[in-house]
Structure 1
């Protein structure tokens, strides 16, 4: 006879234990009554079975969790499955801790075993500025350093998907603010166009908005504000911004003035700090500033009535320092700023921001389309630079190349896609011909094969697509850019010192 399953034996025994009610007339040695047939369980037996199932319910979820843990963990210890890792335990700290190293630390400080991943090169050698286009920026930074600045130094950084998560830009921002002072976070979008959108130190929750990024070309008038995204909402639409740090003294709301425009209520915590009426006889980009009470870390925008079209907020501190705006568009390419965005509208937003430097950091998405690189890319990039020159005559522009982009080769190794070095060389040539500065991110981070080394190394610094860095990898790139800028700044100061000495010499 086959063995009775364990669960069946338990179900049979349960009714037996519970079937004898207590009785004062029954002896403790009296035999137990015969068990009821299993096929006709009593209500007591059914209750016992339900109780048993309730006791055992965590077993199945626990087995699922253990199976998932095994799938995640086993590839860590089986060499031929190493590249199949779903997660790198060594990156936990970098995912949770987003702070960059100090400005005196090397780009790879604190990353054990990363010597082969991080180039032993001076990143400043990858900053090309033969026409000294960045001198106006360095002059402003020098004034900050000496305590003679009349206002903040503001930098606009346009980028693609890593920038939407404030990767790279967050580290440059923090390093510059550590050295020159913190004048505010800068631009933040009204809501999250993409689930992963977010900046270090700021978060948003929002409802009721129709979101149109410039990449989708949904606004027929081409008006997307400074950051490239339009938000339309009716009465009841709202956004609440949480700031992890205090000190913000002003919030600037940018919006589209338009006939029949609605009204927005602005609160700091529970205190109403202003009301924004967006109605106007003519349409156009506008912005308005509101004072934020000291120490307040929560800001809310709520549409009170009518229809409004907003673009972004910007956070400032009324003190000397640097503002570093992270202006990322997911999946963007040069053609978006060159043709999708209304030139006059963008120019108005740029002039209002009055930046001391504009960084154009595109190329990763373009590198996946060799025919575009050979065809219309140069025209689009030159058009962006022309638009910037027209809107901001005299303002420094830095063309920043994309990072390495890896791809699995026939040999199984991870190399660099063939089109990327060509695109970087094209960017460098255009920068030289147009007189803007150029930072060769690709070479500064290690050149061909860098993403392969980053993926194979410990800790892993890039995701499994060999394109998007994780926070630790982004920190390296941000630090390389910062070091290159600071090296250029030091050369500027040395030049000023030599001029001062020369002028002081008796003639």
Structure 2
């Protein structure tokens, strides 16, 4: 989806400064218009299943008595009233048929706390990918229980997948007990907010370092993997070992040297082909276990 917006927004996130202590949403972000602000979402041809939408859901809180304006595919401008109150609100907007573009306008400064939109169609599997690049995951505890519970009421998630860890792995790290302690808190935090939702952790993958003339598994990865297994066991959630799925110890060089290559020569990151392969391995494992559950 192509995302464009005006430059008169105030924002904060888990990964930025938040000097005003603005309440972050489920994505770890918040946006506040500064008057006559706008945002536009336009579908692309990257995925056939995502070429259009028939429902737009806007999530917000703490709204002033006011209205926003919206239009679909450059058509006539329409208005919608915002609900006041501190709880998370959901505003549902529907085009006459299928749409490819929606533009939202926010005429009032500090009109509300806005947390994003969901572009949907009537049926299908919905995946909300909430990236926190460079984050260890422990900051998720900063999102308040009340906000998470409000979103839970609207989203009714069936599965939460947590994939963190590589960003704390380093040659100087030998003790991950603090990470184990904090991530257990995060998982319990999510369990309390989403009591009917299953939770699955994805482990760290192999990361290689040069030793002599060879590339071998960074020993910190092995320690971190054990820590993540302990987290899953103590928090009583499922764990999928990406490390084992890709071949275990010293597997990253094989992915780098595959034909075609599946990882970059930094021996840390997958390329597009490698990411697609990991996704397929995960999906096959998930569906196999789901079949056993049924």
Alignment TM class, shorter chain as reference? 0.7 to 0.9
Displacement after TM superposition at 1:401 (Å):
1.0
- Structure-2 residue corresponding to 1:229: 29
Displacement after TM superposition at 1:392 (Å):
1.5
Give the distance between the partners of 2:147 and 2:220, measured in 1 at CA. Answer: 33
Q: Which runs of 5+ in 1 are unaligned?
A: 1-201, 494-507
Question: Is contact 2:22–2:30 with CA below 8 Å preserved after alignment?
Answer: no
Q: Structure 1 residues 204 and 422 mapped into 2: Cα distance closer, same or farther (>3 Å)?
A: same
Q: Which runs of 5+ in 2 are unaligned?
A: 45-49
Equivalent of residue 390 in structure 1, options 187, 192, 200: 192
Displacement after TM superposition at 1:460 (Å):
2.4
1:401 paired to 2:203: yes
Give the distance between the partners of 2:214 and 2:80, measured in 1 at CA. Answer: 57
Q: Secondary structure at the match of 2:234?
A: helix
Q: Structure 1 residues 404 and 267 mapped into 2: Cα distance closer, same or farther (>3 Å)?
A: farther
Q: How does 1:141-290 map to 2 (within 5 A)?
A: 202-208=1-7, 209-218=9-18, 220-221=20-21, 223-244=23-44, 245-258=50-63, 260=64, 263-272=67-76, 274-278=78-82, 280=84, 282-290=85-93
Q: Structure 1 residues 406 and 344 mapped into 2: Cα distance closer, same or farther (>3 Å)?
A: farther
1:378 paired to 2:202: no
Question: Is contact 1:221–1:342 with CA below 8 Å preserved after alignment?
Answer: no
Question: Is contact 2:39–2:105 with CA below 8 Å preserved after alignment?
Answer: yes
| Deviation digits for residues 4-60 of structure 1 (CA, Å, limit 9, x no counterpart) | xxxxxxxxxxxxxxxxxxxxxxxxxxxxxxxxxxxxxxxxxxxxxxxxxxxxxxxxx
Question: Is contact 1:252–1:289 with CA below 8 Å preserved after alignment?
Answer: yes
Deviates more, 1:307-316 or 1:468-477: 307-316
Give the distance between the partners of 1:464 and 1:347, measured in 2 at CA. Answer: 43
Give the distance between the partners of 1:384 and 1:273, measured in 2 at CA. Answer: 42
Equivalent of residue 426 in structure 1, options 227, 248, 251: 227
Q: Structure 1 residues 221 and 263 mapped into 2: Cα distance closer, same or farther (>3 Å)?
A: farther
Give the distance between the partners of 1:372 and 1:293, measured in 2 at CA. Answer: 58
Question: Is contact 2:71–2:102 with CA below 8 Å preserved after alignment?
Answer: yes
Equivalent of residue 445 in structure 1, options 227, 234, 246: 246
Greater helix fraction, Structure 1 or Structure 2: 1
Displacement after TM superposition at 1:252 (Å):
0.8
Q: Secondary structure at the match of 2:128?
A: strand
Give the distance between the partners of 2:34 and 2:83, measured in 1 at CA. Answer: 13
Q: Which has the larger radius of gyration?
A: 1
Displacement after TM superposition at 1:397 (Å):
0.8
Alignment TM-score, normalising by the size of structure 1: 0.52
Equivalent of residue 367 in structure 1, options 169, 194, 197: 169
Q: Structure 1 residues 395 and 226 mapped into 2: Cα distance closer, same or farther (>3 Å)?
A: same
Displacement after TM superposition at 1:449 (Å):
2.5
Q: Secondary structure at the match of 2:228?
A: helix
Give the distance between the partners of 1:237 and 1:372, measured in 2 at CA. Answer: 48
CA RMSD of aligned residues (A): 2.5
1:315 paired to 2:119: yes
Equivalent of residue 155 in structure 2, options 348, 353, 369: 353
Greater strand fraction, Structure 1 or Structure 2: 2
Q: Structure 1 residues 271 and 376 mapped into 2: Cα distance closer, same or farther (>3 Å)?
A: same
| Deviation digits for residues 356-401 of structure 1 (CA, Å, limit 9, x no counterpart) | 1111111111223864852311111111111121112132111111
Q: Secondary structure at the match of 2:126?
A: strand
- Structure-1 residue corresponding to 2:47: none
Q: Structure 1 residues 295 and 388 mapped into 2: Cα distance closer, same or farther (>3 Å)?
A: same
- Structure-2 residue corresponding to 1:413: 214
Displacement after TM superposition at 1:256 (Å):
2.7
Q: Secondary structure at the match of 2:287?
A: helix
Give the distance between the partners of 1:350 and 1:364, measured in 2 at CA. Answer: 28
Displacement after TM superposition at 1:326 (Å):
0.8
